[in-house]
Structure formats: C-alpha cells, structure tokens
Amino acid sequence: MSYSLQPVPPFRLDLTVWALRRVPTNEIDCWDGRTYCRVLAIRDEPVYVSVVQSMPQETPELVVSVTGPGSIAATDVEIASILTKLLGLDVDLNDFYLIARQDIRLSELASRFIGFKPPRMESVFEALINGVACQQISLKVGIALLNRLSARYGISVDGRHAFPQPKDLADASAEELKQLGFSTRKAENIMSISRAIVDGQLKLEKLDDLDDDLVETALRDICGVGRWTAQYVELRGMGRLNVYPADDVGSQIKLQQWLNLGERPNYIGVHRIIDRWAPYRGLIYFHLLLESQFRQGLFQI
C-alpha cells in the first residue's frame, strides 16, 4: 500500500525525524538520510511504515509505503493518524515564529530549523517507558536500553521491532528486564505501569482532558514518575508545547551554551529564561536539541 500525505508547510522530514530520534543509535525510529521507517503494532499485527519527502518544504508532500502482516487490515486513515502525531504533520508554527522574531537570539535559532515540526511518540505509554528508561543516565545509554526492550518484547517484521505494548511488558519479570540492563527499580516501575494499564487501573487516555498542571500531578502519582519524567511525557508523549522539562541536565547545558551563560541554570533559572516564550516553551527544548545535533554533524541546513 502506498499513498501521500500533505503536512502543514513548511515541513522538513529530516529535522523532524532527528528531533524524534534524539540519537543516531535509535533502532525504533529509523532514518537513513532519506527515508524514515518504523514498525507499528496495529491490532497485534506488525506494520512496517516508510516515509519519504517527495516535495520541498514550501509545498511538502510525503510518500508513505506500508508492508508487513498487519498492512492488509490497517487502513490508510489509521496509518495517517499515527504518522500525523509522530511527525507533527498538522502543527502550524506560524504564531511561534511571530514570537521568535521579537527576540534576536530566538529568531536566529528558529530560522535555522525552518520546516521542523514537534514530534510525538506513538503513545503516552511509550513516552512513559522512555522517561523511566532514561532517568538519571545518559540519553545514549537510555536509548540502548529501549532498543533492547523493543528487540526482546516488541512484535517484528523483517528483523525490525515495534515498541512494546503494555500487555507485552505486563508479563515480563524483573529478572528479564535486569538482564537487558535495567536497574531493579526501573524494571519494577516498568512492570507496574504496564500491569496497571492492562488491569484498567491506569487510563492514560483520560489525561487529554486535563490542563498541563493537572496532567503533571496525575503523572507524578504513578510509581517511578517524578517531575522530569512527567514533563518529558507531557512534551514528547502528549504534544504539550508549553511544557519544558527544566530538570533535564542536558538541556540546561544546551541553554547555557546557547546564551553564553556563566553557569548552568537550575530548574528555576531555566524558567526565568524560557517563560518569556510561553506558550511555546517546549519548542525551545526541541530547537536546542536540533542545534546540538547540527553541531554534531548529524544533518545539514
């Protein structure tokens, strides 16, 4: 099955995918310099989706190809809905650019990455498990853990694995997860979250109706979820673009470097800087990530 999608312009697939991937070693959201691909789990069947940008950012068009056992039952509407969320295809950033133009520093940063759209993980559950996995360790190590988790528990097609579903992890054991490199506490938290969803005790979809502060409070009631993880989930799992995970040490360093600050800002210091750019504080987080990736030579602009 193959069809096309038209994102809200301007749109650049490469920038958006890098913001989603975070590091080159991500084996769930794959990118070869031209094609984005990922295995989705639709009705317990694997669907392999690949996306190529066929038209320039001013008049963008994406060509989507779908294969795998689940592709027969999956509809183009289902696939389009998932990709729209993953790649931010329907997000209009014009108001953000208007705000950015009022600050020379932000204007310079934002203009370098015109065409980027804020991505989201496929589900709030995926963002939660990402957050738990990456707590208090380097992002590179956290992504390695998630790669192993998907290879062990995610359904697969042609050697590629989908991110595990709650039911896939609900029956896991702490020992199995520890063998993948997770600490005992992280293993227990992952199993606890997965089982609570399967048992119906945790209904993440109900969070959509709450404002940002109430969402954070609800997430922090979940075992193993603190302030950073909750805000990370809000931004990367729910698309709450005014949320900035200000406890993120890596982002604090990026902010320090961008503004040539004498010292790395703490949580309060970060907010003293970014609050002027509400309601798009989370976009600063993404743009600083892209700036770091660009300096590493991961893509060209």
pLDDT digits (tens, 9 = 90+) for 177-186: 999 999 999 9
Residues of the chain with pLDDT under 70: none
> Contact 150/161 with Cβ under 8 angstroms?
yes
The residue to which tokens 């963002």 are assigned: 127
3, β-bridge pairs: 64
DSSP helix/strand/coil, 46: strand
> Contact 243/234 with Cβ under 8 angstroms?
yes
Distance CA 93, CA 273 (A): 21
Report the length, in residues, of the chain.
301
Taking 3-state DSSP, the helix, strand and coil percentages for the chain, each rounded to the nearest 5, stand at 50, 10, 35
> Contact 244/284 with Cβ under 8 angstroms?
yes
Return the structure tokens found at 219.
């997430």
Query: What is the pLDDT, as a whole number, of residue 295?
Result: 96
Return the structure tokens found at 43.
């009705």
Give the domain ranges of the chain: 2-90, 124-238
> Residues 9-18, buried b or exposed e (16+ Cβ, 10 A)?
ebbbbbbbbb
Distance CA 50, CA 39 (A): 9
The residue to which tokens 């969803």 are assigned: 197
**Helices 227-238 and 212-220, axial angle in degrees (round to 10):** 120
DSSP helix/strand/coil, 53: strand
Nearest to 32 by CA among 11, 53, 2: 53
Average pLDDT taken over every residue of the chain: 97
pTM of the model: 0.97
Query: What is the pLDDT, as a whole number, of residue 73?
Result: 85
> Contact 166/44 with Cβ under 8 angstroms?
no
Return the structure tokens found at 268.
């309060």
Question: What is the topology classification, in CATH, of domain 2-90?
Answer: TATA-Binding Protein (3.30.310)
Query: What is the pLDDT, as a whole number, of residue 1?
Result: 85
Query: What is the pLDDT, as a whole number, of residue 72?
Result: 87
CATH C-level class of 124-238: mainly alpha
